[in-house]
Amino acid sequence: MTPVAAAEHASRRRSLAAGLMALCVLLLIAIGAIRDATPTAVSPASAPDREFSAQRAFAQVERFAVAPHPVGTAEHTRVRDYLVGELRRLGLRPEVHEAVGVSPIDEQGDPITAGRVFNIVTVIPGTAPTGRVFVTAHYDSVPEGPGANDDGAGTASAIETARALVADGTRLRNDVVFLITDAEEAGLLGSEAFVAGHPLAKGRSVVLNNEARGAKGPVLMFRSTEANSGLISMFGSAAPMPVADSVYAELMKLLNNDTDFTAFKPGGMAVLDSAYANAGTLYHSVLDDPAHVDLAALQQMGDNTLALVRAFGGTDLARLTTGNDLVYFNVPPGLLVRYPTWAATLLGAAALLAALALIFLARRRGLVTLRRTLLGTALALIPIGLAVGVGLSFWDLLKVIQPKFGGTATTTPYRPELFWLAVVMLAGTILVAWYALLRRRVGAAELALGMLTWAALIGLGLGIVSPGASHLAAWPALGAALGGLAALRCPPRWRVLILTAGLVPAALILLPSAWNTLPTGLQYVGYAPMPLVILFGGLLLPLIETVWPHRRSPLIPLTALVVSIALVAAGLLVEPIDKEHPRRTSLAYGLDADTGKAVWLTSKAPDQWARRYGGTNPTGQPPAELWGGSKLLSPAKAAKLPAPSLRVLADTTREGVRTLRVRIHSERGASAVGLRVDGDTATVSSLTVGGRSITADPAGFLFRAPGPEGVEVSLVVKGSGGKIGLRVTDVSPNPSEMSALPGFIAPPDWLFLGDTKISVTKLYAV
């Protein structure tokens, strides 16, 4: 080997070593950012009285979240009585706020949901209140599970926070209100009733709402009400572990995910909505029990809640509920970066200008050509678009390979980590395949500048239309562009180091954001995780080039593809599907008491077990009150179930307008009863149920927890010259009642009944 060749070889080896080290450092930074947001500490039951203890809070969960307790059940009443007793034991004076709530959720085509609710409310008075600080959670559960996480953890956090404040003995400036709402799972009825009718809902307030969409992981403050600068600033400075990202608030505008936040916000209350979401398979399942509560997540929830109550409780709330909105996100160690949304556009513009300056300087030095750079920018759309497409079809592909995967509420397996790695690796496969194919044809530098340009353009575009998500691209693009500009002006031996420094924002933001959004569900990996991985890898291309072999190497993308497939295969192999890890199925039974006809239905595409009930288009129509978009399975044998009753209390007609007052009642004690006008010969212009006026709707209404006497309904009807048909339906969602129905086929032990209803309907002519 000649001296020149030896020198080139040594230089290549040094470049390779430096590039590998730089990539490893950036990967470690990203992993550190992910771990920084993961709770680990747990305070024992022996912790000082003024502190929050997850062990003490968990003892509460073990006492009340032992069985399903949906509204209208005896277990629901037991849980309410227990919680009231615990608050009284602390020396507080809890009130049971009985009211009628109307769901604020607009479900097109479905009946309006209303119901009788029993909220639990207690107040620790302030010394000189400027408003109220609410600690909220809901105490009802879904019919299929005990609700130990959703929302037993939030409820227990409220009780333990109240205990710590009482034990502290120091009164805060502002009133502290503990509001444990009812019927959240039934349509946010308790929170809506509180906002609509309780005097404590009036005036200035800050609400700390705690929820769960899984069973562990960081407690993420995932959205707040607008004009949030005071709220977010206090959250970032006072919470001991303030995990939050404004991108989730933008995602929540796209995804259907309602909490009591949906009811509090229209009432003018300033709200911080928090939840943990890992282990999403347990959400709304039979396994949402005390054995699956993560104490570290519970500790973070309680520590943040208690600290925020003390902070908000001691300040002038008038200054916190006004101001601009903020962009916010986490960086280690436990810091919450925040700045006004108006700065997002400026930041995106700065990133784009820096990227354009880098292109200009690289072209001036003869490193790239403008034509090839424009071509590289256009071609950079290919991996981004492919990542979105592959991501959106990933979950559907898994269900084709293993149909039993379909039975989860959040499209999350029990052991999702291998699938998460597969998603990241698939995005990497797309990127390296694209790079290997075009690197020589277009140019490595041109492709890298193309990806940088798109990152800057995305940052600017998001800064204009969705500021809360703009930091995902703007900061990484700005850092990479500035690093590139500095690298071009420094000695060659420092270039890798300077490029690495410029890519630190990408390592802190892009890969952690991609990983932390994976628990949202595998159905959504095309929206954020895979495109974010593509952007991260695209910005790393200058470093990747330092370790890329000079010869053509199809082995790199092929190896990445093989690893991706192996990760998916391993995930499929290790994913348990058994009685300890059951999947959700749905089944409903509808009986028409007038004709004696009955049907089996399902709320989703029939799975292997549900298809045993027959075809999908039987003769006869099911009750419309079961689900919007429900799917018919087959006719069923008529069960001996008593029909719901209707009794006319008053009937008057004046100037062609008829006013009816009736009482509807479930003779079999179902937990909900509903009514709709049958046919289109009459128009309901006014509808009052249980004393609450609700919007007249052709689909009618469903009333939860009507009580032993039923519910009174008043209708004002126009356009009817004679009798009208009133169809009354009662609905019971208890899965255990299904086994008594004729023709019921018990599901295998790896399935549990969710979204389950028994409905009986009868038509009355009045």
In this structure, of 54-68, 155-169, 252-266, 584-598, the range with the lowest mean pLDDT score is 252-266
pLDDT in tens, 314-356: 999 988 866 789 999 999 999 999 999 999 999 999 999 999 9
Q: How crowded is residue 154: how many other Cβ atoms within 10 Å of its Cβ?
A: 31
| pLDDT of the residue at 12 | 67
Using 50, 70 and 90 to split pLDDT, how confident is the model at 604?
A: confident
The predicted model gives 162-175 an average pLDDT of: 95
Reported as a pLDDT band with limits 50, 70 and 90, residue 678 is confident
pTM, rounded to two decimals: 0.93
Quick one: average pLDDT of 203-224?
Answer: 97
Find all residues with CB under 8 Å of 270, minimum gap 6, and list them: 205, 206, 207, 224, 225, 227, 228, 231, 320, 321
Q: What is the mean pLDDT of the chain?
A: 92
Q: Is 50 exceeded by the pLDDT of residue 627?
A: no
Q: What is the pLDDT of residues 636-671, one digit of tens each?
A: 999 999 999 999 999 998 887 889 999 999 999 999
CA angle 472, 477, 479 (to 5 degrees): 110
Architecture of domain 645-765: Sandwich (2.60)
pLDDT on residue 698: 67
The pLDDT tens digits of the residues spanning 102-115 come to: 999 877 667 899 99
pLDDT tens, residue by residue, 356-368: 999 999 999 999 9
What pLDDT is attached to residue 9? 54
Which DSSP state fits 581?
Answer: B
Q: Which helix (H) or strand (E) holds 447?
A: helix 444-465
Per DSSP, the residues of 46-103 read TS-TTS--HHHHHHHHHHH-SS---TTSHHHHHHHHHHHHHHHHTT---EEEEEEEE-
Digit-coded pLDDT (tens) for 702-731: 999 999 999 999 998 887 667 888 999 999
Closest alpha carbon to 434 in 480, 389, 386, 388: 386
Q: How far is CA 362 from CA 356, 449, 565, 641, in A?
A: 10, 10, 38, 80
Per the CB < 8 A criterion, the answer to whether 405 and 398 are in contact is yes
One-letter amino acid of 690: G
- Alpha-carbon span 163 to 54, nearest angstrom: 13
pLDDT number for residue 756 = 87
pLDDT for residue 727: 94
Q: Is the pLDDT of residue 459 over 90?
A: yes
CB 515 within 8 A of CB 424: yes
Tokens of 289: 């029990």
Instruction: Indicate left, alpha or beta for 94 from its phi (over 0: left) and psi (-120 to 50: alpha).
Output: beta
Q: What is the pLDDT of residue 609?
A: 87
Beta bridge partners of 337: 329
Q: Which CATH number fits domain 54-339: 3.40.630.10, 3.30.540.10, 3.90.1310.10, 3.90.1720.10?
A: 3.40.630.10
Q: Report the distance separating Cα 544 and Cα 35, nearest Å.
A: 25
In this prediction, residue 99 carries a pLDDT of 97
What is the rounded distance in angstroms from the CA atom of residue 694 to the CA atom of residue 674?
13
Domain boundaries, the chain: 3-36+344-574, 54-339, 583-636, 645-765
pLDDT > 90? residue 606:
no
Quick one: pLDDT at residue 129?
A: 97
pLDDT of 214 reads: 96
Is the predicted pLDDT of residue 475 greater than 70, yes or no? yes
* Residue 578, phi then psi, degrees to nearest 5: -155, -175
Burial of 105 per CB tally in 10 Å (0-12, 13-18, 19+)? middle
What are the start-end ranges of the H helices in 135-175?
Answer: 152-168
Which has the higher per-residue pLDDT, 407 or 309? 309
Burial of 697 (0-12, 13-18, 19+ CB in 10 A): middle
Model confidence band, residue 737 (pLDDT cutoffs 50, 70, 90): confident
- With both helix axes pointing from N to C terminus, report the angle between 495-502 and 3-36 in degrees, rounded to the nearest 10: 20
Count of residues for the chain? 766
User: pLDDT at residue 625 above 60?
Assistant: no
Name the 3-class secondary structure at 715: strand
